[in-house]
Amino acid sequence: MPPTKFSPKLHHEATVIRSAIQSRLLVLTLILLWRTLLSSYDTSASINPDCLSTIPSQKNVLFHSLGLAIESSIVWDSVYFVRIAECGYEYEQIYAFFPLLPLCMSFLSRTVLAPLVPVIGQRAVLGLSGYVINNIGFVFAAVYLYRLSVVILKDQEAAVRASVLFCFNPASIFYSSIYSETLFALFSVGGLYHLISGKDVIAVLWFALSGFSRSNGVLNAGYFCFQTMHQAYDAVFLRKRPFAVVGGALRCICIFVPFIAFQAYGYNNLCLGHLPSDMRPWCKARVPLLYNYIQSHYWGVGFLRYFQVKQLPNFLLASPILSLALCSIVHYAKSKPEKFFSLGFHAPPEDKDSAAVLFSLAEYSSRSQENRTRKQVNIDGPALLSEEHKVLAKQGYLSVAVLPCILHLGFMAATAFFVMHVQVATRFLSFSPPLYWFASYIMKSRGTGKRWGYIVWAYSAAYILLGSLLFSNFYPFT
């Protein structure tokens, strides 16, 4: 294939990388600016007692003030991740934070950044490791979103728009800080890209790593459930082979393994070896799930438990991202009801074949496509067939390949609204590709849709400016 055929894609990918880097520099610059101009609302960031089970860390460092400056930027949930990387899981409540990011931070601080420990101190190096990992990981997440968008939307320009929107999304402040959202987005989007590309083994590994980063990574098993549902239908009703579901079930189990293993780790540390009278309540449960207990007991997470009048400001804070999610789902459902309400079973065969990895067994898809091609050519001629496939390829956001992502987004949005602390919805949903595909779709449209596109951009910019001001100075913001 001539090199020139790859040049547009490489050019667009370079644009996405450049946008991702620019967005990280912008956010980090704003953080430094606001921290220089304003004093922190909560000054507890400097409080850092020694680890319970290790020798006190070295206090004599070469540039103590620089180390303190980095440590003072460790606020909100970042405190937990740095503490885990430094001391391990010391207390019950910190098991709410999954270990992938702390493990990566600990590894980087002991290898590449180890020479900096005598210069700025261990905790500062751990914090710096978190910043490096997340900001580099964000660039890769943007690249994978672009690649996934090209495969799904069949439109490189739309893919670029969606990816640039992701680069400047409202949750950018969290992606630049020491939070697990970045690694989660990277492995979730990357896993979906590998799944769509037909690389199931790699997709399982990436989805499993997303579950090792955040608890909601287990929901990525839903993509394989969707695939298996359609494969099982084809196997049972079209090929009389009812065992196709076994492979899908095994893949889902693999994605659940990190979550289950981490719960077992917590049970081993906090429950085993204790007398029944000394055990925590969750240890005695029939299914001892530490994560569910922590979320309910320490943070008050539960179905409708956040529906209180005093939480109305938090619902307002989350309303823009939830509204965008709702609009993207409703628009897809109204535009393609036969696809949405039938879960893709009533989608046209040609449309399903454009996403054969998700909707049918590969060998059946290939043969059925070949049979339809021969039949259609005999009836209508090759010109009409070519036009039909061009129309299907240009459906973009409304293609059937987007359906499992829409269903996934719907479940996530409902969870954020009815179960979680609703104000975290902005970063909870920020990795979801359909949000950016839909925003890109309406930006391309004329009239009202285009104006709504500008509103999305304005909201993102305002959220980044306000978020970098409040979040970095330890004001109430999430």
Return the structure tokens found at 324.
Answer: 């965008």
pLDDT at 210: 97
What's the length of the chain? 478
List CB contacts of 371: < 8 A, sequence separation 6 or more. none
Round to whole Å and give the CA distance between 336 and 207: 28
pLDDT at 44: 66
Is residue 266 within 8 Å of 89, Cβ to Cβ?
Answer: yes
Round to whole Å and give the CA distance between 365 and 402: 18
pLDDT in tens, the chain (478 residues): 444 455 677 889 999 999 999 999 999 999 989 888 887 776 666 677 888 876 565 568 888 889 988 988 888 899 999 999 999 999 999 999 999 999 999 999 999 999 999 999 999 999 999 999 999 999 999 999 999 999 999 889 999 999 999 999 999 999 999 999 999 999 999 999 999 998 999 999 999 999 999 999 999 999 999 998 888 877 777 665 566 678 888 999 999 999 999 999 999 999 998 888 888 999 999 999 999 999 999 999 999 999 999 999 999 999 999 999 999 999 999 999 999 999 998 888 777 776 778 876 444 444 444 444 444 434 444 443 344 444 444 678 999 999 999 999 999 999 999 999 999 999 999 999 999 999 999 888 777 777 888 889 999 999 999 989 888 887 777 7
Other Cβ atoms within 10 Å of 383 Cβ, number: 9
First-last CA distance in the chain: 49
Estimate to the nearest angstrom the gap between the alpha carbon of 366 and the chain centroid.
32
Round to whole Å and give the CA distance between 228 and 298: 37
Return the structure tokens found at 127.
Answer: 């914090």
Tell me the whole-structure pTM to 2 decimals: 0.89
pLDDT at 93: 93
pLDDT at 200: 92
CA distances (Å), 29 to each of 24, 39, 69, 151, 163, in order?
Answer: 8, 16, 15, 34, 21
